[in-house]
Amino acid sequence: MRSNGATRSSFRAELAGATLSVYRFWRDLGYAIGALSAGVIADRFGFAYAILAIAVVTFISGAIVAIAMRDCR
């Protein structure tokens, strides 16, 4: 199947738009929550712990994606 970069060509146009909208919503919400969380952690525990927390969350997220989202070829 061909891909246009963001979605597979087998998606209908209306599904592709809805899919990208949901993805962008959660992505943007993650930016806001991540920044606020990092600020709170840095204020209470210091910058080193804030960066460690970000690293842990990023690693866990990557591990979940690596396990749950296998290529279906």
pLDDT at 55 over 70: yes
Orientation angle between helical segments 13-45 and 47-68, nearest 10 degrees: 150
Is pLDDT of 72 > 80?
no
The per-residue pLDDT for range 2-50, each reduced to its tens digit, is 555 555 566 567 677 788 888 899 899 999 999 999 999 999 999 999 9
Q: Which two tokens stand for residue 69?
A: 């989202």
Q: Which residue has the higher pLDDT, 67 or 3?
A: 67
What is the C-alpha separation between 28 and 41, in angstroms, rounded? 20
The residue behind tokens 């998606």 is 11
pLDDT at 52 over 90: yes
Phi then psi for residue 46, to 5 deg, are 110, 165
Q: Is the pLDDT of residue 53 over 70?
A: yes
